[in-house]
């Protein structure tokens, strides 16, 4: 075969495998939206067979042979060509995947599907005992995964790379340290500040039906296309890009808190815009049609949630509409008071409901526990105790029940150990990208005040989405912003916002 | 390998293929319930890859070798053993499937997925031209399928066997002829009868929300378990058994007709009870865990819809509840008048809304057109003209628009040519089975009057569901009723019902 023929065969195989994997996305979406509870055991079998099938086919030695042949060919000479990017990234995936035995992959899929149901039950009853045996199984399997991959330094590096290719614990620790120092200073200023937002404004009765209408209208104005997507209800919000023309987001509503669903929905819609902004019609099934990393993915969701959704400009446009919908709860409330309320900084239990300033402390805690679970320094049975002790130390409050503590997040039940740091990376990237967007479009905030968000969507499409996985995250950041990743833009953005709100 | 080892390998492979096929069931369910419209092209790709993959694996020569080895072994000596049944039925499927080229299977799947969307659009706009090119493609592909299978007599036999294994056109013609003669006599009696139901009773305003409540409560009392199933809304009602613990039915509501959703939902729930009554925990993936035939499947849905749902006894229990829900529309209506109204016999356009007496004429018409399309005596472009001419002849009324005529049913767009006769077979089987159930439980109607339906469900489970595909349809009928399939029980049941209602 010529190099071109080999490349075409590789792409054809990858597309077919991605089509199979995309049926698993529908199975997962269905499991967390509409599936009857009795279907869980069978669903685990379905997911397991697809996972092991795609794993077995992607790790077939012929893929390795094809890659080797292509790596020596002219087809990949230009390292930014579609072919070169796809070969480079498929090689990275192939090398990792071939290290995982099919049995292990299958066991992880089956176990996490059942663990997820147990986690949901445990969370609902706030009973860690229900989840413990499954957490033990997951941790054990994740350790096996790290050993199979191999790693330098600690086992955590092997897992982190799955979500943030090329990143290591040492990088993350460095970023966290700098960020934490400045965050601590910021939080102290907030604590000592003379002004305090009246957070009760957003903790009144907010009719779920009206919240739905409001959220849908916001998401539509962001450019999320309901002709090619859906918004549904679930326990733990997420977004899944099924394929071209089909991107789905899921949220949850709290009748007594406006923030949860609204910012949660904007967050997932930010992921959704990234998914639908990838050129899947041309590149579906290959890295060029996939997101750069989870950190970059998160930068999109956090930008829409925070830099846009929690901005004064956004609410100059939307607050009058919100007042018309939520007549009673927002009667007599001023824009400034509302703006302060949605940006209130205060330690709270639930990560996905946390304010921007404390959010990264939630991540830090999980990251520390995960590392200790993998090294064996922490036993799964000791997670609640360790969680609660650290929580007290970082946030200054006692965890009242495990559903507000170590049972709150879906990740461990889903086998997503190593995933959490990407949230903080996402926050850092979002601030860097948004700064550049402001530089390129100095009237961006004026656009928001007029309810115009499509130019930002276009900017993101052109600068980030359309590249797929052409550039690794750190390189993409440099390409877009002309600077390496930095924690300062995030801190500067927060200082500016909170000094106004809190008057320091 | 020993025969047992070979058998185990065969079952393992079949289970894995059925798990893959079951993901296609979820894709199909999703396409017809929640998928955004923009997802249709990608969905076609997904379905196509699963279909070609399962086809390629099931037609692997090793399956044929395994079957040959097992056919000569002691394992299948007892022809009613699980092993013998599975080997017999897998051989039947394997021989048919190996005759279909993978390309053709893939093309059929891709074409019908797109044809289905075009059919929906054509039906909505009542514009046959939109559907015509797709009908031509489907008919062409179905002809190719019949040629690939091979057949005795006419090509239709090859396709009918897919849905009703072992049945031939000659059998169906014979059954139809006898049934038709008696039906014509019955319909004439109805036409000349002195009493006429006041059908306007069920054509008043029926709030969709209340219809939903009523339908769900009826279906629950039938024993459909909402913990292991769902009821959703779609364009063309259907039921899909995803796997153990997950059986889904879909219906549609008409705010101005009570019958459509109510009996449609009971119908689909009848299918659902069969699906959930199969022993899938033990036999999933093998013929022993699958339904005997579509005719038998239809006998279950029609029994719940007609013999139960349209019985006087059922309404002795449910009419007071219906009156409480639909206060205005059922105020002052007597049970007898309501019972007559839901059993009104009159020619109408839509098959799924037809009364029991005219229903089989709808089937006859489709059956005739299908045969002619396959032999080439009828061109797809001439379908509307031919449909409307025959409709006038059989039903005495003019078709006003194609959405009330040849565009009403999903089957042709889905490539289900040869399927329609199974509906009439279902009606015939349902009457035979119900007679036997009445013989075994003489107080059955008294049970209905008390709102008790679970003993009938148990009877069906024990006599029909649990056997899976152990017996072919005709043999199952003999096993259950001690008699061969006969059209007389259906005619006798109708004569008894309609002579009371119409006073002849």
CATH of the domain at A352: 1.10.1370.30
- Residue B211 backbone class (left: φ over 0; alpha: ψ -120 to 50; beta: rest): alpha
Q: Do A245 and B34 touch (CB under 8 A)?
A: no
Nearest chain A residue to B241 by CA distance is A39
Q: Do B49 and A19 touch (CB under 8 A)?
A: yes
CA B333 to chain centre: 33
CA A477 to CA A467: how far, in whole Å?
12
Q: Is residue B442 part of a domain?
A: yes
Do A108 and A204 fall within a single domain?
A: no
Q: Which domain holds residue A454?
A: 169-502
CA A91 to CA A68: how far, in whole Å?
9
Closest CB to A228 among B38, B45, B232: B38
CA A471 to CA A467: how far, in whole Å?
7
Do B56 and B198 fall within a single domain?
A: no
Do A199 and A54 fall within a single domain?
A: no
Closest CB to B36 among A23, A39, A229: A229
**For residue A285, what pLDDT is reported?**
97
CA B394 to CA A296: how far, in whole Å?
65
Q: Do A36 and B245 touch (CB under 8 A)?
A: yes
Q: Which residues in B lie closer than 8 A to residue A23 (C-beta atoms)? A: 23-24, 26-27, 46, 50
Torsion of CA B88, B92, B93, B94, to 10 degrees: 90
Residue A473 is given by DSSP the state H
Mutate to test the interface with A, among B25, B33, B46 (most CBs of A within 10 A): B46
Chosen domain end from A162, A184, A209: A162
Please tell me the total count of domains within chain A: 2
Q: Do B19 and A243 touch (CB under 8 A)?
A: no
Q: Do A34 and B38 touch (CB under 8 A)?
A: no
Do A268 and A137 fall within a single domain?
A: no
Q: Do A46 and B228 touch (CB under 8 A)?
A: no
Closest CB to A30 among B20, B30, B244: B30
CA B349 to CA B94: how far, in whole Å?
39
Q: Where are the beta strands (DSSP E) in A347-483?
A: none
Question: Which residues, in sequence order, are bridge partners of residue A233?
Answer: A251
Do A415 and A464 fall within a single domain?
A: yes
Candidates B106, B268, B356, B370; catalytic one: B268
Closest CB to B46 among A22, A36, A53: A22
* Burial (0-12, 13-18, 19+ Cβ within 10 Å), B153: exposed
Q: Do A38 and B230 touch (CB under 8 A)?
A: no
Do B340 and B241 fall within a single domain?
A: yes
Q: Is residue B349 part of a domain?
A: yes
Q: Do B228 and A36 touch (CB under 8 A)?
A: yes
| Structure confidence by residue, pLDDT tens digits, A104-117 | 988 998 899 899 99
Q: Which residues in A lie closer than 8 A to residue B30 (C-beta atoms)? A: 26, 30
Do A198 and A121 fall within a single domain?
A: no
CA-nearest of B133, B108, B106, B138 to B121 is: B133
Interface of A with B (CB under 8 A): 16, 19-20, 22-24, 26-27, 30, 33-43, 45-46, 49-50, 53, 225-230, 232, 242-246, 248, 284
Alpha helix segments (H runs only) across B32-127: 40-58, 61-71, 82-98, 102-125
Q: Is residue B471 part of a domain?
A: yes
Candidates A89, A106, A164, A268; catalytic one: A268
Mutate to test the interface with B, among A22, A27, A29, A38 (most CBs of B within 10 A): A38
**pTM of this prediction?**
0.89
The nearest CA of chain B is from the CA of A106 a distance in Å of: 13
Q: Is residue B440 part of a domain?
A: yes
CA A371 to CA A375: how far, in whole Å?
6
Q: Do B242 and A34 touch (CB under 8 A)?
A: no
Do A148 and A185 fall within a single domain?
A: no
| A238, containing H or E segment | strand A238-243
| A249, containing H or E segment | strand A246-251
Q: Do B246 and A46 touch (CB under 8 A)?
A: no
Which is it for the CA torsion A90, A91, A92, A97, positive or negative? positive
Closest CB to B228 among A39, A226, A232: A39
Question: Which residues, in sequence order, are bridge partners of residue B249?
Answer: B231, B239
pLDDT tens digits, chain B, 504 residues: what are they?
Answer: 899 999 999 999 999 999 999 999 999 999 999 999 999 999 999 998 998 899 899 999 999 999 999 999 999 999 999 999 999 999 999 999 999 887 898 899 889 989 999 999 999 999 999 999 999 999 999 999 999 999 999 999 999 999 999 888 987 788 888 888 888 889 889 989 999 999 999 999 999 999 999 999 999 999 999 999 999 999 889 999 999 999 999 999 999 999 999 999 999 999 999 999 999 999 999 999 999 999 999 999 999 999 999 999 999 999 999 999 999 999 999 999 999 999 999 988 999 888 999 999 899 899 999 999 999 999 999 999 999 999 988 888 899 999 999 999 999 999 999 999 999 999 999 999 999 999 999 999 999 999 999 999 999 999 999 999 999 998 999 999 988 888 999 999 999 999 999 999
The nearest CA of chain B is from the CA of A321 a distance in Å of: 27
Do B340 and B480 fall within a single domain?
A: yes
| Structure confidence by residue, pLDDT tens digits, A177-224 | 888 888 888 988 998 999 999 999 999 999 999 999 999 999 999 999
Q: What is the DSSP string of A81-109?
A: SHHHHHHHHHHHHHHHHHTS-HHHHHHHH
CA-nearest of B184, B148, B142 to B360 is: B184
Contact (Cβ atoms closer than 8 angstroms) between residue B112 and residue B414: yes
Q: Beta-carbon neighbour count of residue A51 at 10 Å?
A: 21
- Per the structure block, which two tokens stand in for B335? 């049970």
Q: Is residue B9 part of a domain?
A: yes
Chosen domain end from B42, B66, B99: B99
**Annotated catalytic residue A268:** yes
Closest CB to A26 among B26, B45, B229: B26
Do B326 and B442 fall within a single domain?
A: yes
Chosen domain end from A162, A186, A220: A162
The nearest CA of chain A is from the CA of B289 a distance in Å of: 14
Do A186 and A153 fall within a single domain?
A: no
Residue A332 is given by DSSP the state T
Nearest chain A residue to B45 by CA distance is A19
Closest CB to B229 among A16, A36, A245: A36
The nearest CA of chain A is from the CA of B312 a distance in Å of: 33
CA B413 to CA B273: how far, in whole Å?
27
**For residue A461, what pLDDT is reported?**
98
Interface of B with A (CB under 8 A): 16, 19-20, 22-24, 26-27, 30, 33-43, 45-46, 49-50, 53, 225-230, 232, 242-246, 248, 284
Q: Is residue B274 part of a domain?
A: yes
Contact (Cβ atoms closer than 8 angstroms) between residue A468 and residue A278: yes
Using DSSP's 3-state secondary structure scheme, residue A265 falls into helix
Q: Where are the beta strands (DSSP E) in A253-395?
A: none
Do A177 and A151 fall within a single domain?
A: no
3-state helix vs strand vs coil in chain B, percent to 5: 70, 5, 25
Tell me which residues of chain A have a pLDDT lower than 50. none
The nearest CA of chain A is from the CA of B240 a distance in Å of: 13
CA A172 to CA A256: how far, in whole Å?
36
Q: Is residue B383 part of a domain?
A: yes
CA B302 to CA B428: how far, in whole Å?
10
Q: Which residues in B lie closer than 8 A to residue A43 (C-beta atoms)? A: 243, 246
């Amino acid at each position: 075969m010529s190099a071109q023929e080999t490349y075409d065969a590789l792409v054809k195989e990858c597309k077919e495998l991605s089509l199979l994997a995309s049926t698993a996305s529908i199975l997962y979406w269905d499991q967390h939206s509409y599936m009857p509870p009795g279907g869980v055991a069978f669903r685990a079998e379905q997911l397991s067979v697809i996972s092991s099938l795609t794993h077995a086919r992607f790790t077939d030695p012929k893929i390795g042979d094809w890659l080797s042949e292509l790596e020596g060919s002219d087809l990949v000479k230009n390292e930014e060509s579609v072919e070169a990017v796809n070969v480079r990234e498929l090689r990275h995936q192939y090398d990792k995947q071939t290290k995982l035995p099919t049995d292990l992959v299958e066991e992880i899929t089956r176990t996490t599907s059942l663990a997820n149901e147990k986690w949901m039950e445990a969370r609902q009853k706030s009973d860690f005992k229900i989840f413990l045996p499954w957490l033990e199984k997951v941790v054990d399997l994740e350790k096996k995964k790290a050993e199979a991959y191999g790693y330098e330094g600690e086992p955590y590096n092997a897992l982190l790379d799955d979500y943030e290719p090329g990143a290591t614990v040492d990088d993350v620790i460095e970023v966290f340290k700098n960020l934490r120092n400045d965050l601590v200073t910021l939080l102290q200023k907030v604590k000592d500040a003379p002004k305090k937002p009246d957070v009760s404004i957003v903790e009144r009765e907010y009719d779920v039906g009206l919240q739905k209408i409001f959220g849908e209208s916001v998401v539509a104005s962001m450019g999320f296309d309901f002709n090619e997507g859906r918004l549904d209800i679930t326990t733990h919000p997420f977004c899944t890009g099924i394929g071209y023309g089909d991107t789905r987001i899921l949220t949850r509503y709290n009748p007594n808190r406006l923030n949860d669903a609204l910012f949660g929905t904007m967050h997932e819609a930010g992921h959704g815009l990234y998914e639908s902004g990838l050129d899947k019609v041309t590149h579906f099934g290959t890295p060029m049609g996939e997101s750069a990393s989870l950190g970059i993915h998160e930068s999109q969701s956090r930008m829409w949630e925070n830099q846009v959704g929690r901005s004064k400009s956004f609410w100059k446009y939307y607050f009058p509409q919100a007042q018309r919908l939520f007549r009673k709860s927002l009667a007599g409330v001023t824009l400034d008071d509302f703006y302060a309320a949605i940006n209130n900084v205060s330690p709270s239990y639930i990560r996905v409901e946390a304010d921007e300033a404390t959010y990264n402390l939630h991540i830090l805690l999980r990251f520390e526990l995960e590392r200790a679970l993998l090294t064996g320094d922490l036993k799964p049975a000791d997670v609640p105790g360790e969680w609660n002790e650290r929580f007290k130390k970082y946030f200054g409050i006692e965890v009242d029940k495990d559903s507000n503590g170590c049972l709150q997040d879906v990740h461990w039940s889903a086998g997503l150990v190593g995933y959490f740091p990407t949230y903080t990376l996402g926050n850092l990237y979002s601030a860097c990208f948004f700064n550049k967007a402001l530089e390129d479009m100095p009237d961006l905030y004026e656009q928001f005040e007029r309810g115009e968000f499509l130019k930002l969507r276009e900017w993101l499409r052109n600068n980030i989405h359309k590249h797929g996985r052409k550039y690794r995250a750190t390189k993409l950041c440099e390409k877009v912003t002309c600077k390496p990743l930095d924690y300062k833009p995030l801190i500067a953005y927060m200082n500016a916002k909170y000094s106004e709100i809190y008057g320091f």
